[in-house]
Chains A and B, each alone.
Chain A
Amino acid sequence: MDIIKILENTIAAFFGIDAAYFALAAIGLNIQFGYTGLLNFGQSAFMACGAYGLGMTSQYFGVGMWWGILIGLALVIILGLLVGIPTLRLRADYLAIVTIATAEIVRLVVRSVRFKEYFGGSDGINSFSTSFRDLSPFDPAGQYGIRPFKYSGYSLWTMIVGWSLVIIFSALVYMLMKSPWGRVVKAIREDEDAVRSLGKNVYSYKMQSLIIGGVVGMFSGMIFALDRGSVQPDNYSRDVTFYVLTALVLGGVAKVRGSVVGPMMFWGLYVFSDNFLRELTKDEPFSIFGVGIIQKAQVGPVNYMLIGLGLMLLMTFRPQGVFGSKEEMALDGR
């Protein structure tokens, strides 16, 4: 077992691009779930809006990549209105049901043969990121940094852009939540009726929160798409939202640093567990008392099982995560 390699990968994962795009998605989800109390289970659909916004520039519209941000914004607003209008007046779990359904449908639509012309079907879209590549000041073939932080020029570029966006949005959210707007949405989370009785339009605030969170999620999808240089429908499955949610709860809901550090810890733990189990099962299945427990091919499911278990345990025993405060997790739907 190569412990040094496992640890190196783990440390690298804390600051890797995956943590960055998860952090962006978590910042968005935090606005909705943490501050406003909206159960958005379709963050992956908002991420897909960003990725497909970029992808569609080359696939369908034939315009420059930067138009993708506008297209993405338009998609996010359409999606936000679609799920928000029917549900935001109702009890919290309706939004959960509708968003999870929407996320699934969005994935089916973008991977369908029928709409291949727009979204590239199950092959996804590959060629859209040249303008972003060209902006990179680094040599794409070169290797930068020292182990374990060793990246190719392009990875370094996407990482810098990704983490810069994380910092920018963290700061924005921090300021937003200190503003009167932030106080209103937090009050909505605590007691909607009280806010309504103060003459605030709760519905409109919730909608704004949903869409603002969706826009941050959109940038998450864009960073992910740019890093991979491709848009693949299956990267936006509904479970992605739940992994982001787990990461957010781990860090601490309704805290800006929770939404950034949570994803870093999530990826650190995930990569550790993944690498550890892969090393463990590299030569022969891991077994206890001669009974094979985990085979090589089963490492993936075991990891995700652990994520599910982690989410359950966190919600039960430490809903405030690492940084949160228990008072701000007083969620109750009924």
Chain B
Amino acid sequence: MTSTDNSKSRFFAVGRAFAVLLAALFMFSAPDVASAADADNSIIISVQNQANNNGVSEKKPVAGVKVSVANLAGMAIGEGVTDSSGSTTISVPAKDNYVVTLDVASLPSGVTLVEGTKTVVNIVKDAFTTNQKRVTFFAGSSGESGASLFDRIAQRLVDGVRLGLIIAICSVGLSLIFGTTGLTNFAHGEMVTFGGLIAFWFNVLLGIPLLIAAPVVIALGGVLGLAMNGFIFAKLRKRGIGLISQLVVSVGLSIMLRNMFLYQFGGRTRPLDDFSLQVAKSFGPVSITMRDLSTAIISLIVLVSVAVYLQKSRTGKAIRAVSDNPSLASSTGIDTQKIIRVVWFAGGALAAMGGVFRGLDEQVGFEMGAGLIFLMFAGITLGGLGSAYGALVGGFLVGLLVELASLVVPAELKNAPALLILIIVLVVRPQGILGRKQRVG
């Protein structure tokens, strides 16, 4: 190919990429969703009750609290009352210095501000990193920490199992993609977010019951995986671009997708419609909603099926063969590119499923997957990078450990132990639990 050809094709490729972006903006621009983006400059004030539930601090929104914003001269800018999510948004004219005041008298009875929390918060101009500044007042109701240590551990175990199952589901694809192509895909978290947001779109905006929507969402997640492979990473492999460069491309993709979600969905987290209002049932010392119990059981079934599929089926065996040694697999007549497509599809579908479950568990938001990605990395490293069973085991263990650790670690630092796990694994046993001992350096 002559150099003019080359530059021409490059030009078209760049043009195509922009066209895809523009088309994506166009396509997603349903006005009702777009209006979800928040007002220009605003201060979001939320009041959270760090209730001491079974000895584990959990945030609960406090509604009906009066808050006001004034400028430094004392002139009132706006007032608000927190809604059921415990927050209210007060728009402000510009990024400037403001004073936020909470009306203590409007706090519900039994709720007081956490010791050391001021009722007045000064916001400096530079605190506006985006157009919004979030201010949180922490309240805490006293008492109810009577649960015994055993009960607390039991409850954390149950929550840990649930989180672990979700992480395992999300990270199978990440690990398989790494195994078959060598790519560390930093955009995998966005595939999880995609699942959650599309479920929100179907369920809340279009009003389709989640049970019907979920299979479609999962299939669409698979299609997204195929698209990522087909339009980006397969092309990169073909061009002979190194794995580290591919990794950086996946970082770019992650930034792009995440902001696309933000553009589309706005910065708030929101619940799905179906199954969102359930009361937890108590089973002995632990309580769990039927929704969470069902998602946990479904997750378990899916994970077992994935494992059986990998172990028994022809394609599953081929996937493991490609993971082990791509060139050897391809010389035995396995179509590696096809296997890679299967893996991307399955990975995307599982990630989307994880996103739906996570959305049910917490809420959906544009950063939901980005927040999980490094738990997923910790999981697959613990299990053994590239090993499919490793991802199942490792992801599960990380979820469990993170929840158990929250017995001693404050809720806001809940994810920190995952980093500790990551570091300890890399020092002690870098190949992970199920990885083969080989040079990883």
Contacts and interface: CB of A to CB of B under 8 A. Distances in A.
Interface string B337-356: 00000000000000000000
B438 to A, nearest CB: 11
Contacts of A142: none
B248 A245 contact: yes
Q: How large is the interface on A (under 10, 10 to 19, 20 to 34, 35 or more residues)?
A: 35 or more
Nearest to A114: B410
B440 A91 contact: yes
Given A98-B422, A301-B259, A331 B252 contact: no
Contact of A316 (B18, B31, B241): B241
Contacts of A294: 25
B254 interface: yes
B290 interface: no
A309 B199 CA distance: 25
A296 interface: yes
A229 B127 CA distance: 11
Contact of A104 (B252, B253, B374): B374
A108 interface: yes
A91 B34 CA distance: 42
Contacts of A332: 242-244
Interface stretch (A79-87, A152-160, A170-178, A210-218): A79-87
Interface stretch (B67-75, B218-226, B270-278, B412-420): B412-420
A57 interface: no
Most buried by A among B26, B126, B258, B427: B126
B430 interface: yes
B236 A89 contact: no
A320 to B, nearest CB: 11
Interface stretch (B36-44, B104-112, B310-318): B36-44
Contacts of B114: 113
B129 A301 contact: no
In terms of DSSP, what is the predominant structure of the interface of chain B?
Answer: helix
Interface string A32-53: 0000010101000000000000
Interface residues on B, range: 35 or more
A96 B247 contact: yes
Given A87-B426, A101-B419, A331 B245 contact: yes
Nearest to B376: A97
Given A297-B131, A313-B14, A245 B251 contact: yes
B426 A86 contact: yes
Nearest to A291: B29
A86 B429 CA distance: 10
B304 interface: no
A70 interface: no
Interface in B269-326: none
A293 B25 contact: yes
Given A301-B259, A305-B256, A39 B426 contact: no
Contacts of B242: 330-333
B427 A308 contact: no
B116 to A, nearest CB: 8
Contact of B243 (A89, A296, A333): A333
A39 B250 CA distance: 14
B286 to A, nearest CB: 27
Nearest to B261: A301
Interface stretch (A10-18, A120-128, A130-138, A265-273): A120-128
B21 interface: yes
Contacts of A63: none
A329 interface: yes
A72 interface: no
Given A113-B138, A312-B256, A108 B416 contact: yes
Secondary structure type dominating chain A contacts: helix
A311 B131 contact: no
A108 B245 contact: no
Interface string A245-274: 110010000000000000000000000000
B129 A82 contact: no
A297 B37 contact: yes
A242 B251 contact: yes
Contacts of B116: 116
B70 to A, nearest CB: 17
A235 B245 contact: no
Contact of A239 (B31, B127, B255, B430): B255
Given A90-B426, A91-B441, A114-B410, A232 B127 contact: yes
B119 interface: no
A197 B441 CA distance: 15
Contacts of B257: 308
B68 to A, nearest CB: 18
A36 B316 CA distance: 39
A308 B245 contact: no
B249 A304 contact: no
B430 A94 contact: yes
A141 interface: no
Nearest to A297: B37
A63 to B, nearest CB: 23
Given A112-B413, A295-B34, A309 B236 contact: no
Interface in A187-245: 228-230, 232, 234-235, 239, 242, 245
Contact of A112 (B31, B39, B126, B410): B410
Shortest 8 CB-CB contacts between residues of A and residues of B: A308-B256, A311-B252, A308-B255, A312-B252, A301-B263, A86-B426, A332-B242, A331-B244
12 contacts: A86-B423, A91-B440, A93-B244, A113-B114, A228-B126, A249-B248, A297-B131, A316-B13, A316-B245, A316-B249, A329-B245, A333-B182
